Amino acid sequence: MKPTDTSHPEYFHKVVDCQWACPAHTDVPEYIRLIAQGRFSDAYIENRNSNVFPGILGRVCDRPCEPACRRGRVEDRPVAICRLKRVAADHRDDISGRLPRAPSKTNGKRVALVGAGCASLTVANDLAPLGYEVTIFEALDTTGGLMRTNIPQFRLPPKVLDEEIAYILDMGVDLKLNHSIDSMKELLDQGFDAVFVGTGAPRGKNLEIPGRYDSENIYIGIDWLESVAFEHIDSIGKNVLIIGVGNTAMDCCRTSLRLGANDVKVMARKPRGFFKASDWELEDAEEENVEILVNHSPKDFVIEDGKLVGMTFELMEYNIDDAGRIDRGTVTGEKTIPCDDVILAIGQDNAFPWIERDIGIEFNEWECPVVDEATMMCTRDGIFFGGDSAFGPKNIIWAVAHGHEAAISIHKYCHSEDLQNRLPVGMNLASQKMGMHEWSYSNDYDPAARRLMPHVDLRERFKKIDIEVELGFTAEQTVQEVERCLNCDIQTVFAAELCIECDACIDICPVNCLTITENGDEADLRMRLSAPAENHEQALYVSKDLPQTSRVMIKDEDLCVHCGLCAERCPTGAWDMQKSTVLLPYAADEAADGQIQPAAPAA
């Protein structure tokens, strides 16, 4: 193998699994260290720089960081990253003075944002401080989009939403509530310099089976949740069936329990392991005694005298092959389950009835606009998409990532710069050596198990619909959980020319990461390391030829616990622990002095 090129920021960035997995690349280890030092406000700001909504995401983020966490490979369970984010948010002081403000004079550029959800708000957050005149158009009479209408209050209190949205609106954003945009043409006629569409995926999927329209007690999940959020619905029958087993289904079943249902069944077409819902959302629902019935495929609704009395399901059997793939299944029987209400939670679609199809915005076969993944611009110049409206339903943190990229594009577009010519991601590396055997971070491995989120007592939580179930970590839990972080951003950096091949680092490494051996191709090398490197998603760090024997030092990044002992045991300082800081460019960086890059003149 060739020596690893660590001058490219991507290499060390990938080692920080959580940060790499996060669409917005939140610097997780850094904010966890700040929490460990009791610097909650600093930890909050560190979060906010990349993910904009730490309080919200600290409760309801989809947490792509946690399955990626190295701790989950070294032991069983990852660091409770999301819970710690909430700790930063819960314990922060008033940080409003630390937020960027709009300049007294605008730059004269007007930007329209359609929808007041997380994607649009992120764009506003990035552009308002640069002097843009930002207008948000929202059809409802409140902000937050699906964060407010689809996430129940017992998971995400409105106060949390209000606070974090206010931070952005207070930057001088013009918010127009109850202002539905019914025509893109008309909006374009108002002469905005750029338009951003962040309208989400607002159409719940329907289930067209017999009896669907014969009762009023059959609801579309996201519409039903919205009606509950706006208090248009405040009760439901005793027996409720939820069709589908995604995260919306989990919100529907738990909300039903708070509106009077006492027997809620979630009907899954496939077996466990093929559910769309996140594990923790399933756990939380099952803790509330929601029953999940597997292998039930909906057949029809049973209506008697115009009243919904039950639903018939086909009982399914599946074969799962060695690769874990499931077949289409065979029907082995039928079963009717009585119920009073049915909520359909089987997915969401995009819907753009308000965008004319003759104005240069192309749509694909799924009725999604054709959007450039790097610039977020659609096929008509000056119109940008983000969040669920861009590529179909994803989650909040993806919407934030889209918003940041769209803000950069809008800035470049408004200044006639080349949208593709964006500032590159940068990286700083700085040694963390403080003394002979002292490091600037807590390098000892703490074997503590993951802390569990304390919940409101089961008897208490159903009394009102807005009792937040998760209480947040206690001080003791926080102290223990922060120590579980492996500080993966404190990189092991190797200088081959200093190595005397004494093997000290190899001998001390607790997880057999290191090997000195003859070079070879990657497949061969992976098999003859101190421990076979079987996780091919994790890189091998290959040094230049070592001075004494021309062999190479190889590090398998997979299980390194970043304890720094290789560097401590190194007599020549060939290993050093250096903190990598990923420098992500935002719209403000593009706007900084000297960054104006005029587009290449047309050929």
CB atoms within 10 A of CB 220: 20
Q: What is the largest CA-CA distance in the chain?
A: 90
Stretch that binds other proteins, among 107-115, 270-278, 456-464, 495-503 (CB under 8 A): 495-503
65, β-bridge pairs: none
339 lines the binding site for other proteins (CB under 8 A)? no
**From 190, 235, 420, 548, residue interacting with other proteins (rule: CB under 8 A):** 548
549 lines the binding site for other proteins (CB under 8 A)? yes
552 lines the binding site for other proteins (CB under 8 A)? no
130 or 565: CB nearest other proteins: 565
Exposed (0-12), middle (13-18) or buried (19+): which is 256, by Cβ within 10 Å? buried
563 lines the binding site for other proteins (CB under 8 A)? yes
438 lines the binding site for other proteins (CB under 8 A)? yes
433 lines the binding site for other proteins (CB under 8 A)? no
559 lines the binding site for other proteins (CB under 8 A)? yes
In the complex, minimum distance from the CB of residue 433 to other proteins, in angstroms, rounded to a whole number: 13
Question: Token pair of 455, please?
Answer: 């919940």
Overall size of the chain counted in residues: 603
In the complex, minimum distance from the CB of residue 75 to other proteins, in angstroms, rounded to a whole number: 7
**From 1, 74, 293, 423, residue interacting with other proteins (rule: CB under 8 A):** 74
500 lines the binding site for other proteins (CB under 8 A)? yes
503 lines the binding site for other proteins (CB under 8 A)? yes
Question: Token pair of 43, please?
Answer: 């930890």
Whole-number Å distance between alpha carbons of 27 and 81:
11
Stretch that binds other proteins, among 104-112, 171-179, 442-450, 452-460 (CB under 8 A): 442-450
323 or 436: CB nearest other proteins: 436
482 lines the binding site for other proteins (CB under 8 A)? no
**From 93, 182, 334, 507, residue interacting with other proteins (rule: CB under 8 A):** 507
Whole-number Å distance between alpha carbons of 1 and 521:
5
In the complex, minimum distance from the CB of residue 517 to other proteins, in angstroms, rounded to a whole number: 10
Q: Are the CB atoms for 256 and 264 separated by under 8 Å?
A: yes
Whole-number Å distance between alpha carbons of 484 and 35:
13
Q: Which residue has tokens 């694909």?
A: 364
215 lines the binding site for other proteins (CB under 8 A)? no
Residue 9's region, left for phi above 0, alpha for psi from -120 to 50, else beta, is alpha
594 lines the binding site for other proteins (CB under 8 A)? no
498 lines the binding site for other proteins (CB under 8 A)? no
Stretch that binds other proteins, among 131-139, 178-186, 441-449, 459-467 (CB under 8 A): 441-449
10 or 75: CB nearest other proteins: 75
Kindly report the three-state secondary structure assignment for every residue of 128-169. HHHCCEEEEECCCCCCCCHHHHCCCCCCCCHHHHHHHHHHHH
Whole-number Å distance between alpha carbons of 553 and 485:
26
In the complex, minimum distance from the CB of residue 1 to other proteins, in angstroms, rounded to a whole number: 21
What are φ and ψ of residue 344, in 5° steps? Answer: -90, 115
In the complex, minimum distance from the CB of residue 526 to other proteins, in angstroms, rounded to a whole number: 13
- Alpha carbon 343 to its chain's center: 26
CB atoms within 10 A of CB 602: 4
346 or 499: CB nearest other proteins: 499
- Helix or strand holding residue 313 (H, E): strand 307-317
599 lines the binding site for other proteins (CB under 8 A)? no
Question: Token pair of 181, please?
Answer: 């945009």
Q: Can you give the binding site for other proteins, defined by CB under 8 A?
A: 73-75, 437-438, 443-445, 447, 500-504, 506-508, 510-512, 531-532, 534, 548-549, 559, 561, 563, 565, 568-572
